[in-house]
């Protein structure tokens, strides 16, 4: 009898372990390039999610916006960091290496705005985008989202790249130096606020931040529905004495549409509850709330995330 009891106990224990393992949810999270801001943010989110839901076991891997989209679509990852306008394109079958619309990528939450910032020399009579005709522009190298949007803006303005004296494709740091040395009259950057490169420019030369008027905004939205309006508050940069109207698109967390609703509901809830913790990781989260994370976007929410944000009145 003793041996039978031991055997039965072992069997029950074995079944319990098997059931526990069956409940585990192993996920792969494609983050960002080494040295970028996405890696520490993703590291914090991984810890938050695993702490809130003991079933989760998340493996973080380096990635990039387009790579992350492809990995989720092909089932090689379940979570990723992304830029909304790139996700919009992928869901419409547009983008490098994309031959048909992606169907397995869902939106979990916005995380922070990526803001279009147009810094012009304040001592060259540049008061509006149309004044850039014949001037020298700085933007990121071709292939970057920032450069693509810069070309869209210049086309919508009616100036285009051809109407400029020169287009310089350079890093933000190099653009700051070129701005100070007089090699460029304007820099177009998409980043968080404030951007160090523009702070560098404004601390050395007079800077005027240019508005994006409604007609240009409307043309951008025709190009990609991921754009929305954004105000750069006055005082963001030295010498900026008024609010500036521009555009933004969110950096966001994307997930596989195949993930269980309860898992994604918990992810949305726990990352929102942990906003104070995220502020300590990156100041871009300062002042954000559930309404920012759950703000309406032009792509499909994962049903689990949608349920949570609707319950919180964010949608």
- On whether the CB atoms of residues 205 and 124 are closer than 8 A, the answer is no
Per-residue pLDDT band for 64 (boundaries 50, 70, 90) equals confident
| Same fold across 24-111+251-311 and 114-249 | yes
Q: Which CATH architecture has domain 114-249?
A: 3-Layer(aba) Sandwich (3.40)
Per-residue pLDDT band for 142 (boundaries 50, 70, 90) equals confident
CA 202 to chain centre: 25
Question: Is the N-terminal amide bond of 170 cis, ω within 30° of 0?
Answer: no
pTM above 0.85, yes or no: no
For 28-45, what is the mean pLDDT?
89
Superfamily of domain 24-111+251-311: Periplasmic binding protein-like II (3.40.190.10)
Q: Which two tokens stand for residue 143?
A: 């292939």
Residue 119 has pLDDT above 70, yes or no: yes
DSSP symbols for 181-213: HTS-SEEEEEESSS-HHHHHHHTTS-EEEPP--
pLDDT digits (tens, 9 = 90+) for 77-117: 999 999 899 899 999 999 878 999 999 999 999 999 889 99
pLDDT digits (tens, 9 = 90+) for 213-246: 999 999 999 999 889 999 999 999 999 999 999 9
Q: What is the pLDDT of residue 146?
A: 86
DSSP symbols for 220-253: HHHH-TT-EEEEE-TTSSTT--S-EEEEEEEEEE
Strands (E), the chain: 25-30, 56-61, 79-83, 105-121, 136-139, 166-169, 186-191, 207-209, 228-232, 244-256
| pLDDT above 70: percentage of residues in the chain | 92
* Exposed / middle / buried, residue 51 (Cβ in 10 Å: 0-12, 13-18, 19+): exposed
Of residues 36 and 54, more confidently modeled: 54
Ranges of each domain in the chain? 24-111+251-311, 114-249
Residue 282 has pLDDT above 60, yes or no: yes
């Amino acid at each position: 009898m003793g041996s039978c009891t031991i055997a039965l106990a072992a069997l029950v224990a074995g079944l319990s372990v098997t059931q526990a393992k069956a409940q585990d949810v192993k996920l792969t999270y494609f983050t960002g390039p080494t040295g970028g801001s996405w890696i520490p943010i993703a590291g914090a989110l991984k810890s938050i999610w695993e702490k809130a839901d003991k079933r989760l076991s998340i493996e973080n891997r380096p990635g990039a916006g387009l790579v992350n989209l492809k990995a989720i679509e092909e089932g090689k990852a379940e979570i990723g960091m992304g830029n909304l306008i790139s996700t919009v394109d992928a869901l419409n079958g547009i983008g490098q290496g994309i031959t048909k619309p992606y169907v397995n990528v869902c939106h979990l939450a916005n995380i922070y705005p990526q803001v279009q910032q147009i810094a012009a020399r304040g001592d060259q009579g540049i008061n509006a985008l149309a004044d850039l005709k014949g001037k020298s522009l700085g933007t990121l190298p071709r292939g970057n989202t920032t450069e693509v949007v810069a070309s869209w803006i210049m086309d919508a303005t009616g100036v285009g790249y051809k109407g400029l004296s020169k287009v310089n494709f350079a890093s933000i740091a190099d653009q700051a130096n070129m701005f100070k040395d007089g090699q460029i009259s304007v820099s177009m950057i998409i980043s968080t606020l404030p951007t160090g490169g523009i702070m560098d420019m404004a601390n050395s030369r007079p800077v005027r931040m240019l508005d994006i008027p409604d007609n240009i905004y409307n043309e951008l939205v025709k190009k990609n529905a991921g754009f929305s309006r954004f105000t750069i508050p006055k005082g963001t940069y030295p010498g900026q004495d008024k609010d500036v109207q521009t555009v933004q698109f969110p950096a966001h967390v994307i997930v596989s549409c195949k993930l269980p609703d309860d898992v994604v509901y918990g992810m949305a809830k726990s990352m929102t509850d942990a906003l104070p913790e995220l502020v300590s990781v990156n100041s871009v989260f300062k002042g954000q709330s559930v309404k920012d994370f759950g703000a309406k976007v032009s792509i499909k929410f994962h049903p689990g995330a949608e349920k949570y944000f609707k319950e919180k009145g964010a949608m």
